[in-house]
Amino acid sequence: MKRFLFAVLMVFVSLPARADVDIKEFKSPGGINVWLLEEPSIPMVALELRFQGGASLDAEGKRGATNLMVGLLEEGAGDLDSQGFAKASESLAARYGYDVSDDTVAISSVFLSENRDEAMELLRLSIIEPRFDEASLERVRGQVLSVVRSEETDPNKIAGKTFKAIAFGDHPYGSGLNGTLESVSSLTRDDIVAAHQAALAKDRMVVSVVGDVTAEELGPMLDNLLGALPEKGAPLPPKTTPNLTGAVEVVEFDTPQSVAVFGQLGIERDDDDFFAAYLLNTILGGGGFESRLMEEVREKRGLTYGVYSYLVPKDLAALYMGSVASANDRIGEAVQVIQDEWARMANDGVTLDELNKAKALLTGAYPLRFDGNGAIAEIMVGMQVQGLPIDYIKTRNDKVNAVTLDEINRVASELLKPDALQFVIVGKPEGV
Protein backbone atom coordinates (compact mmCIF):
# COMPACT_ATOMS: atom_id res chain seq x y z
CA MET A 1 0.00 0.00 0.00
CA LYS A 2 2.58 2.47 1.13
CA ARG A 3 4.98 1.64 -1.68
CA PHE A 4 2.26 1.94 -4.27
CA LEU A 5 1.11 5.34 -3.07
CA PHE A 6 4.67 6.41 -3.03
CA ALA A 7 5.37 5.41 -6.63
CA VAL A 8 2.43 7.48 -7.81
CA LEU A 9 3.65 10.44 -5.85
CA MET A 10 7.06 10.22 -7.48
CA VAL A 11 5.65 11.09 -10.87
CA PHE A 12 4.62 14.51 -9.68
CA VAL A 13 7.81 15.33 -7.88
CA SER A 14 9.87 17.52 -10.14
CA LEU A 15 13.53 17.96 -9.35
CA PRO A 16 14.35 20.82 -7.00
CA ALA A 17 16.46 23.77 -7.97
CA ARG A 18 19.95 23.34 -9.34
CA ALA A 19 22.92 24.64 -7.43
CA ASP A 20 23.93 27.85 -9.14
CA VAL A 21 27.50 28.53 -8.15
CA ASP A 22 29.82 30.56 -10.34
CA ILE A 23 33.34 29.51 -9.39
CA LYS A 24 36.30 31.27 -10.99
CA GLU A 25 39.61 29.51 -11.45
CA PHE A 26 42.73 31.63 -11.79
CA LYS A 27 46.46 31.68 -11.18
CA SER A 28 47.95 34.20 -8.75
CA PRO A 29 50.88 36.32 -10.05
CA GLY A 30 53.15 33.87 -8.18
CA GLY A 31 51.56 30.84 -9.89
CA ILE A 32 49.21 29.51 -7.22
CA ASN A 33 46.06 27.94 -8.66
CA VAL A 34 42.94 29.25 -6.91
CA TRP A 35 39.20 28.54 -6.97
CA LEU A 36 37.22 31.61 -5.94
CA LEU A 37 33.54 32.32 -5.42
CA GLU A 38 32.92 36.04 -4.92
CA GLU A 39 30.12 36.59 -2.39
CA PRO A 40 30.18 40.21 -1.21
CA SER A 41 26.89 40.22 0.67
CA ILE A 42 28.49 39.50 4.05
CA PRO A 43 31.74 41.33 5.02
CA MET A 44 33.72 38.15 5.61
CA VAL A 45 35.94 35.67 3.78
CA ALA A 46 36.22 31.88 4.15
CA LEU A 47 39.52 30.28 3.08
CA GLU A 48 40.28 26.56 2.79
CA LEU A 49 43.69 24.97 2.16
CA ARG A 50 44.37 21.26 1.74
CA PHE A 51 47.74 19.56 1.58
CA GLN A 52 47.55 16.00 0.30
CA GLY A 53 49.55 13.36 2.12
CA GLY A 54 48.44 14.09 5.66
CA ALA A 55 49.32 11.73 8.47
CA SER A 56 50.33 9.02 6.00
CA LEU A 57 53.57 10.98 5.53
CA ASP A 58 54.71 10.11 9.05
CA ALA A 59 58.28 8.83 8.79
CA GLU A 60 59.16 5.28 9.90
CA GLY A 61 58.99 5.07 13.70
CA LYS A 62 57.58 8.60 13.96
CA ARG A 63 53.87 7.79 14.10
CA GLY A 64 51.98 10.84 15.31
CA ALA A 65 54.54 13.39 14.08
CA THR A 66 52.26 15.03 11.50
CA ASN A 67 49.38 15.17 13.97
CA LEU A 68 51.54 16.77 16.66
CA MET A 69 53.03 19.19 14.11
CA VAL A 70 49.57 20.31 12.99
CA GLY A 71 48.53 20.77 16.61
CA LEU A 72 51.50 23.08 17.13
CA LEU A 73 50.91 25.43 14.18
CA GLU A 74 48.69 27.70 16.26
CA GLU A 75 50.91 27.44 19.35
CA GLY A 76 53.37 30.18 18.54
CA ALA A 77 54.77 31.65 15.31
CA GLY A 78 57.15 34.43 14.30
CA ASP A 79 57.61 36.82 17.22
CA LEU A 80 54.51 35.50 18.97
CA ASP A 81 54.51 32.78 21.58
CA SER A 82 51.47 30.57 22.01
CA GLN A 83 49.56 33.05 24.16
CA GLY A 84 50.60 35.94 21.93
CA PHE A 85 49.27 34.16 18.87
CA ALA A 86 45.97 33.36 20.59
CA LYS A 87 45.56 36.95 21.77
CA ALA A 88 46.29 38.30 18.30
CA SER A 89 43.68 36.05 16.69
CA GLU A 90 41.14 36.96 19.39
CA SER A 91 41.75 40.67 18.79
CA LEU A 92 41.03 40.20 15.08
CA ALA A 93 38.11 37.86 15.79
CA ALA A 94 39.61 35.66 13.07
CA ARG A 95 38.97 31.94 13.28
CA TYR A 96 41.69 29.46 12.37
CA GLY A 97 41.40 25.70 12.15
CA TYR A 98 44.21 23.14 11.72
CA ASP A 99 43.33 19.51 11.24
CA VAL A 100 44.84 16.31 9.95
CA SER A 101 43.45 13.10 8.48
CA ASP A 102 45.07 10.04 6.88
CA ASP A 103 45.21 11.81 3.51
CA THR A 104 45.30 15.56 4.14
CA VAL A 105 46.32 18.43 6.34
CA ALA A 106 43.40 20.87 6.38
CA ILE A 107 43.85 24.55 7.23
CA SER A 108 40.72 26.68 7.44
CA SER A 109 40.12 30.30 8.25
CA VAL A 110 37.20 32.70 8.45
CA PHE A 111 37.94 36.38 8.90
CA LEU A 112 36.33 39.80 8.60
CA SER A 113 36.79 42.02 5.57
CA GLU A 114 37.70 44.93 7.85
CA ASN A 115 40.97 43.35 9.02
CA ARG A 116 41.68 40.75 6.37
CA ASP A 117 45.31 41.76 5.78
CA GLU A 118 46.15 41.34 9.46
CA ALA A 119 44.22 38.06 9.59
CA MET A 120 46.10 36.70 6.56
CA GLU A 121 49.43 37.76 8.05
CA LEU A 122 48.70 35.86 11.25
CA LEU A 123 47.72 32.82 9.21
CA ARG A 124 50.95 33.15 7.20
CA LEU A 125 53.02 33.13 10.39
CA SER A 126 51.37 29.90 11.55
CA ILE A 127 51.94 28.12 8.24
CA ILE A 128 55.38 29.44 7.31
CA GLU A 129 57.01 30.43 10.60
CA PRO A 130 55.68 28.15 13.35
CA ARG A 131 58.09 28.20 16.31
CA PHE A 132 57.60 24.68 17.68
CA ASP A 133 58.84 25.97 21.06
CA GLU A 134 59.89 23.26 23.50
CA ALA A 135 57.34 24.47 26.06
CA SER A 136 54.52 24.25 23.53
CA LEU A 137 55.78 20.89 22.29
CA GLU A 138 55.66 19.42 25.79
CA ARG A 139 52.26 20.89 26.57
CA VAL A 140 50.61 19.71 23.34
CA ARG A 141 52.37 16.34 23.57
CA GLY A 142 50.71 15.95 26.97
CA GLN A 143 47.34 16.66 25.39
CA VAL A 144 47.90 14.14 22.61
CA LEU A 145 49.03 11.48 25.09
CA SER A 146 45.85 12.14 27.07
CA VAL A 147 43.82 11.52 23.92
CA VAL A 148 45.77 8.36 23.10
CA ARG A 149 45.17 7.01 26.63
CA SER A 150 41.46 7.80 26.38
CA GLU A 151 41.22 5.99 23.06
CA GLU A 152 42.54 2.82 24.69
CA THR A 153 39.30 2.40 26.66
CA ASP A 154 36.85 3.81 24.11
CA PRO A 155 35.01 0.94 22.37
CA ASN A 156 34.46 2.97 19.18
CA LYS A 157 38.15 3.80 18.91
CA ILE A 158 39.20 0.26 19.72
CA ALA A 159 36.92 -1.04 16.97
CA GLY A 160 38.21 1.45 14.40
CA LYS A 161 41.85 0.84 15.20
CA THR A 162 41.45 -2.94 15.22
CA PHE A 163 39.77 -2.83 11.84
CA LYS A 164 42.52 -0.61 10.40
CA ALA A 165 45.21 -2.94 11.72
CA ILE A 166 43.55 -5.99 10.16
CA ALA A 167 42.97 -4.23 6.84
CA PHE A 168 46.28 -2.44 6.42
CA GLY A 169 48.91 -3.95 8.71
CA ASP A 170 52.15 -1.97 8.53
CA HIS A 171 50.93 0.57 5.97
CA PRO A 172 50.29 4.02 7.56
CA TYR A 173 46.56 3.35 7.18
CA GLY A 174 47.00 0.44 9.58
CA SER A 175 47.37 2.53 12.74
CA GLY A 176 45.87 5.58 14.43
CA LEU A 177 47.24 8.92 13.26
CA ASN A 178 47.63 10.19 16.84
CA GLY A 179 50.42 7.63 17.28
CA THR A 180 51.08 5.43 20.31
CA LEU A 181 52.16 6.38 23.84
CA GLU A 182 55.63 5.17 22.89
CA SER A 183 55.94 6.89 19.51
CA VAL A 184 54.51 10.22 20.67
CA SER A 185 56.68 10.23 23.77
CA SER A 186 59.81 9.85 21.68
CA LEU A 187 59.10 12.60 19.11
CA THR A 188 61.66 15.42 19.12
CA ARG A 189 61.51 18.99 17.88
CA ASP A 190 63.57 17.88 14.86
CA ASP A 191 60.90 15.30 14.02
CA ILE A 192 58.26 18.03 14.13
CA VAL A 193 60.28 20.32 11.87
CA ALA A 194 60.78 17.43 9.44
CA ALA A 195 57.05 16.67 9.45
CA HIS A 196 56.35 20.33 8.67
CA GLN A 197 58.71 20.24 5.69
CA ALA A 198 57.23 16.95 4.50
CA ALA A 199 53.54 17.82 4.71
CA LEU A 200 53.17 21.50 3.81
CA ALA A 201 54.45 22.01 0.26
CA LYS A 202 53.21 23.64 -2.92
CA ASP A 203 53.15 20.50 -5.04
CA ARG A 204 50.27 18.99 -3.09
CA MET A 205 48.27 22.09 -2.18
CA VAL A 206 44.78 23.18 -3.24
CA VAL A 207 43.16 26.51 -2.36
CA SER A 208 39.57 27.68 -2.33
CA VAL A 209 38.13 31.00 -1.19
CA VAL A 210 34.54 32.21 -0.80
CA GLY A 211 33.51 35.69 0.24
CA ASP A 212 34.01 39.39 0.06
CA VAL A 213 37.18 39.54 -2.08
CA THR A 214 38.04 39.82 -5.80
CA ALA A 215 40.52 37.76 -7.80
CA GLU A 216 42.71 40.85 -8.31
CA GLU A 217 42.92 41.40 -4.55
CA LEU A 218 43.24 37.73 -3.66
CA GLY A 219 46.15 36.73 -5.94
CA PRO A 220 48.81 38.82 -4.21
CA MET A 221 47.35 37.98 -0.80
CA LEU A 222 47.80 34.26 -1.48
CA ASP A 223 51.30 34.74 -2.90
CA ASN A 224 52.22 36.41 0.35
CA LEU A 225 50.50 33.71 2.39
CA LEU A 226 51.96 30.65 0.66
CA GLY A 227 54.86 31.80 -1.52
CA ALA A 228 57.55 30.75 0.94
CA LEU A 229 56.40 27.10 1.17
CA PRO A 230 58.81 24.51 -0.22
CA GLU A 231 58.10 23.43 -3.80
CA LYS A 232 58.02 19.69 -3.09
CA GLY A 233 56.93 17.62 -0.10
CA ALA A 234 57.94 14.12 0.96
CA PRO A 235 57.01 11.21 -1.33
CA LEU A 236 53.62 9.61 -0.69
CA PRO A 237 53.47 6.04 0.60
CA PRO A 238 52.51 3.40 -1.98
CA LYS A 239 48.93 2.45 -2.79
CA THR A 240 47.68 -0.59 -0.95
CA THR A 241 44.86 -3.12 -0.92
CA PRO A 242 42.97 -3.93 2.28
CA ASN A 243 43.38 -7.48 3.51
CA LEU A 244 39.87 -8.49 4.62
CA THR A 245 38.75 -12.08 5.03
CA GLY A 246 35.15 -11.93 6.16
CA ALA A 247 35.98 -13.12 9.67
CA VAL A 248 34.18 -11.81 12.75
CA GLU A 249 36.89 -10.60 15.13
CA VAL A 250 35.81 -10.05 18.73
CA VAL A 251 37.75 -7.74 21.06
CA GLU A 252 36.65 -8.46 24.62
CA PHE A 253 35.78 -5.25 26.45
CA ASP A 254 33.55 -4.91 29.48
CA THR A 255 30.76 -2.56 28.37
CA PRO A 256 26.98 -3.05 28.05
CA GLN A 257 26.65 -2.29 24.35
CA SER A 258 28.82 -3.93 21.70
CA VAL A 259 30.18 -1.71 18.95
CA ALA A 260 30.78 -3.23 15.53
CA VAL A 261 32.50 -1.89 12.44
CA PHE A 262 32.46 -3.84 9.22
CA GLY A 263 33.92 -3.47 5.79
CA GLN A 264 35.19 -4.86 2.54
CA LEU A 265 37.11 -3.66 -0.50
CA GLY A 266 35.64 -0.38 -1.83
CA ILE A 267 35.67 1.56 -5.08
CA GLU A 268 37.90 4.41 -6.26
CA ARG A 269 36.44 7.90 -6.61
CA ASP A 270 37.47 8.06 -10.30
CA ASP A 271 36.03 4.64 -11.18
CA ASP A 272 33.40 4.77 -13.95
CA ASP A 273 31.08 2.85 -11.64
CA PHE A 274 31.42 5.28 -8.75
CA PHE A 275 28.00 6.89 -9.15
CA ALA A 276 26.31 3.50 -9.44
CA ALA A 277 28.11 2.43 -6.26
CA TYR A 278 27.13 5.68 -4.55
CA LEU A 279 23.47 5.10 -5.35
CA LEU A 280 23.79 1.46 -4.32
CA ASN A 281 25.15 2.48 -0.93
CA THR A 282 22.40 5.06 -0.48
CA ILE A 283 19.88 2.23 -0.85
CA LEU A 284 21.80 -0.26 1.27
CA GLY A 285 22.93 1.81 4.25
CA GLY A 286 23.77 5.40 3.39
CA GLY A 287 20.35 6.94 2.96
CA GLY A 288 19.41 7.55 6.57
CA PHE A 289 15.99 6.26 7.58
CA GLU A 290 15.23 5.14 4.04
CA SER A 291 18.08 2.64 3.76
CA ARG A 292 17.56 -1.13 3.87
CA LEU A 293 19.88 -1.60 6.84
CA MET A 294 18.01 1.04 8.86
CA GLU A 295 14.69 -0.52 7.91
CA GLU A 296 15.72 -4.08 8.77
CA VAL A 297 17.93 -3.55 11.83
CA ARG A 298 16.26 -0.56 13.49
CA GLU A 299 12.74 0.00 12.21
CA LYS A 300 11.61 -3.63 12.01
CA ARG A 301 13.59 -5.18 14.85
CA GLY A 302 14.61 -2.34 17.17
CA LEU A 303 18.12 -3.79 17.42
CA THR A 304 20.00 -0.49 17.29
CA TYR A 305 19.75 3.29 17.40
CA GLY A 306 21.73 3.60 14.19
CA VAL A 307 23.26 1.45 11.45
CA TYR A 308 25.10 2.98 8.53
CA SER A 309 27.31 2.07 5.60
CA TYR A 310 29.62 4.41 3.68
CA LEU A 311 32.04 4.37 0.77
CA VAL A 312 35.54 5.35 1.87
CA PRO A 313 37.61 6.08 -1.25
CA LYS A 314 40.88 7.10 0.34
CA ASP A 315 43.86 8.28 -1.71
CA LEU A 316 45.82 5.06 -1.31
CA ALA A 317 43.10 2.43 -0.90
CA ALA A 318 39.33 2.14 -1.18
CA LEU A 319 37.09 0.67 1.51
CA TYR A 320 33.37 0.08 1.82
CA MET A 321 32.56 0.29 5.52
CA GLY A 322 29.74 0.39 8.01
CA SER A 323 28.97 0.51 11.73
CA VAL A 324 26.33 -0.57 14.23
CA ALA A 325 25.95 -0.77 18.01
CA SER A 326 23.62 -3.11 19.94
CA ALA A 327 23.34 -4.49 23.45
CA ASN A 328 25.67 -7.43 24.06
CA ASP A 329 22.82 -9.95 23.88
CA ARG A 330 21.47 -8.52 20.59
CA ILE A 331 24.57 -7.69 18.56
CA GLY A 332 24.70 -11.24 17.17
CA GLU A 333 21.30 -10.81 15.58
CA ALA A 334 22.22 -7.36 14.24
CA VAL A 335 25.35 -8.77 12.60
CA GLN A 336 23.34 -11.62 11.09
CA VAL A 337 20.78 -9.23 9.61
CA ILE A 338 23.54 -7.07 8.11
CA GLN A 339 25.23 -10.13 6.58
CA ASP A 340 21.90 -11.23 5.14
CA GLU A 341 21.18 -7.81 3.67
CA TRP A 342 24.65 -7.63 2.17
CA ALA A 343 24.08 -11.01 0.48
CA ARG A 344 20.54 -10.17 -0.62
CA MET A 345 21.80 -6.99 -2.28
CA ALA A 346 24.69 -8.82 -3.98
CA ASN A 347 22.34 -11.51 -5.30
CA ASP A 348 19.15 -9.62 -6.13
CA GLY A 349 20.21 -5.99 -6.56
CA VAL A 350 17.77 -3.13 -6.22
CA THR A 351 14.33 -2.40 -7.69
CA LEU A 352 13.59 0.43 -10.08
CA ASP A 353 11.50 2.07 -7.38
CA GLU A 354 14.42 2.01 -4.96
CA LEU A 355 16.75 3.41 -7.61
CA ASN A 356 14.37 6.26 -8.42
CA LYS A 357 13.94 7.15 -4.77
CA ALA A 358 17.67 7.17 -4.19
CA LYS A 359 18.14 9.43 -7.22
CA ALA A 360 15.48 11.82 -5.91
CA LEU A 361 17.18 11.93 -2.52
CA LEU A 362 20.70 12.50 -3.85
CA THR A 363 19.86 15.00 -6.58
CA GLY A 364 17.47 16.92 -4.36
CA ALA A 365 19.85 17.07 -1.42
CA TYR A 366 22.82 18.23 -3.47
CA PRO A 367 21.83 21.91 -3.95
CA LEU A 368 20.97 22.13 -0.24
CA ARG A 369 24.64 21.83 0.61
CA PHE A 370 25.48 25.21 -0.91
CA ASP A 371 24.05 27.34 1.86
CA GLY A 372 26.90 29.39 3.29
CA ASN A 373 30.34 30.74 2.51
CA GLY A 374 32.06 28.29 4.81
CA ALA A 375 30.09 25.33 3.47
CA ILE A 376 30.77 26.24 -0.17
CA ALA A 377 34.48 26.78 0.42
CA GLU A 378 34.68 23.28 1.87
CA ILE A 379 32.83 21.76 -1.08
CA MET A 380 35.13 23.58 -3.52
CA VAL A 381 38.30 22.43 -1.84
CA GLY A 382 36.93 18.89 -1.63
CA MET A 383 36.30 18.89 -5.37
CA GLN A 384 39.90 19.93 -5.98
CA VAL A 385 41.27 17.23 -3.68
CA GLN A 386 39.23 14.64 -5.59
CA GLY A 387 40.42 15.98 -8.93
CA LEU A 388 36.95 16.96 -10.11
CA PRO A 389 36.48 19.55 -12.86
CA ILE A 390 35.26 23.05 -12.00
CA ASP A 391 31.96 22.48 -13.81
CA TYR A 392 31.27 19.33 -11.77
CA ILE A 393 28.57 21.08 -9.73
CA LYS A 394 26.51 21.60 -12.88
CA THR A 395 26.94 18.03 -14.17
CA ARG A 396 26.87 16.03 -10.97
CA ASN A 397 23.11 15.45 -10.80
CA ASP A 398 23.05 14.40 -14.45
CA LYS A 399 25.65 11.75 -13.65
CA VAL A 400 23.51 10.47 -10.80
CA ASN A 401 20.43 10.37 -13.00
CA ALA A 402 22.27 8.59 -15.81
CA VAL A 403 22.80 5.40 -13.77
CA THR A 404 20.52 2.63 -15.08
CA LEU A 405 18.96 -0.29 -13.25
CA ASP A 406 21.16 -2.72 -15.20
CA GLU A 407 24.27 -0.79 -14.28
CA ILE A 408 23.56 -0.54 -10.56
CA ASN A 409 22.66 -4.23 -10.36
CA ARG A 410 25.83 -5.22 -12.22
CA VAL A 411 27.80 -3.10 -9.73
CA ALA A 412 25.89 -4.70 -6.83
CA SER A 413 26.98 -8.16 -7.94
CA GLU A 414 30.57 -7.11 -8.70
CA LEU A 415 31.26 -4.81 -5.75
CA LEU A 416 29.53 -6.52 -2.84
CA LYS A 417 31.44 -9.43 -1.33
CA PRO A 418 29.23 -10.92 1.40
CA ASP A 419 31.80 -13.63 2.11
CA ALA A 420 34.58 -11.07 2.57
CA LEU A 421 32.64 -8.65 4.76
CA GLN A 422 34.93 -8.37 7.76
CA PHE A 423 33.49 -7.56 11.21
CA VAL A 424 35.20 -6.27 14.34
CA ILE A 425 33.04 -6.36 17.46
CA VAL A 426 34.15 -4.67 20.68
CA GLY A 427 32.23 -5.59 23.82
CA LYS A 428 31.00 -8.79 25.41
CA PRO A 429 28.87 -10.07 22.55
CA GLU A 430 26.75 -13.13 23.17
CA GLY A 431 26.20 -15.77 20.51
CA VAL A 432 28.76 -14.47 18.04
Q: How far is the CB of 155 from another protein (least distance, A)?
A: 6
Provide the angle, in degrees to the nearest 10, between the axes of the packed helices 116-128 and 82-92: 160
N-term to C-term CA, the chain: 37
Of the pair 1, 238, the CB lying nearest another protein is at: 1
* Piece of the chain touching another protein by CB under 8 A; list 150-158, 268-276, 338-346, 416-424: 150-158
Query: What residues from 91 to 130 belong to the interface with another protein (CB under 8 A)?
Result: 91-93, 95, 98-99, 110, 112
**Helical (H) or strand (E) element with 128:** helix 116-128
State the Cα–Cα distance between residues 234 and 252, nearest whole angstrom. 39
**What is the rounded distance in angstroms from the CA atom of residue 429 to the CA atom of residue 335?**
11
Rounded to the nearest whole angstrom, what is the least distance from the CB of residue 387 to another protein in the complex? 25
DSSP result, 227-241 = TTS-S--PPPPPP--
Minimal distance, residue 346 CB to another protein, in Å? 24
- Residues in contact with 87: Cβ distance below 8 Å, sequence separation at least 6, in sequence order: none
Residue 161 to residue 83: CA distance in whole angstroms? 34
Cβ-based neighbours of 225, under 8 Å, separated by 6 or more: 120, 123, 124, 127
- Which residues within the stretch 247-306 sit at the binding site for another protein (CB under 8 A)? 254-257, 259, 287-290, 298-306
Q: Using CB under 8 A, which residues numbered 23 to 62 contact another protein?
A: 39, 41-44, 46
Q: With respect to another protein, which residue has the nearer C-beta, 149 or 394?
A: 149
370 sits near another protein (criterion: CB under 8 A): yes
Q: Given the complex with another protein, which of 325 and 345 has the nearer CB atom?
A: 325
Show contacts with another protein in window 184-223 (CB under 8 A): none
Distance (Å) of CA 146 to CA 6, 296, 357: 51, 39, 45
What binding mask, one character per residue, do residues 151-180 give for another protein by CB under 8 A, x or -? xxxxx-------------------------
228 lies in the site for another protein, by CB under 8 A: no
Q: Are 356 and 287 in contact (CB under 8 A)?
A: no
Q: Report the distance separating Cα 334 and Cα 329, nearest Å.
A: 10
From the list 34, 127, 325, 346, which residue makes contact with another protein (rule: CB under 8 A)?
325
User: Could you say which of 368, 389, 398, 406 contacts another protein (CB under 8 A)?
Assistant: 368
* Span 69-88, contacts to another protein by CB under 8 A: 71-72, 74-75, 82-83, 86-87
Residues binding another protein: what is the number (CB under 8 A)? Answer: 87
Among 174, 367, 382, 418, binds another protein (CB under 8 A): 367
